[in-house]
Homo-oligomer: A and B are copies of this chain.
Amino acid sequence: MASKHNDIACDYFLNNPTSIFYPLSEEEKKELFNNHVCTVYKKGEIIFKEGDKPTGLICLSSGKVKIFKEGVGGREQIVRMSSPLGFIGYRALFAEQNYSGSAVALEDSVVCILEKEALYKVMRSNADLTMRMMKKMANELGISNTRTVSLTQKHIRGRLAESLLLLVDTYGLEEDGKTIRAYLSREDLANLSNMTTSNAIRTLSTFASENLISIDGRKIGILDMKKLERVSDMG
Q: How far is the CA of A40 from the CA of B150 in the complex (A)?
A: 33
Least Cβ–Cβ distance between A74 and chain B, in angstroms? 10
Please state if B134 and A124 are interface contacts (CB–CB under 8 Å): no
Indicate the member of A72, A130, A149 with the most B CB atoms within 10 Å. A149
How many copies make up the complex? Answer: 2
Distance A152 CA – B96 CA, assembled complex (angstroms):
26
Q: Using C-beta atoms within 8 Å of the partner chain, give the interface range for chain A.
A: 35 or more
Among candidates B91, B133, B135, residue contacting A142 with C-beta atoms closer than 8 Å: B91
CA distance A152 to B156 in the complex (A): 12
Known A-B contacts A131-B130, A135-B94, A235-B73; the reply to A144 vs B146 at CB < 8 A is no
Q: Which A residues have a C-beta under 8 Å from some C-beta of B?
A: 69, 71-73, 75, 77, 79, 90-97, 100-101, 120, 123-128, 130-131, 133-135, 137-142, 144-154, 158, 194, 235
- Known contacts A97-B142, A140-B141; 18 additional CB pairs below 8 A are A71-B152, A71-B154, A72-B158, A77-B153, A79-B148, A92-B138, A94-B135, A94-B138, A95-B141, A95-B142, A96-B135, A100-B142, A101-B145, A124-B127, A124-B128, A130-B131, A141-B141, A148-B148
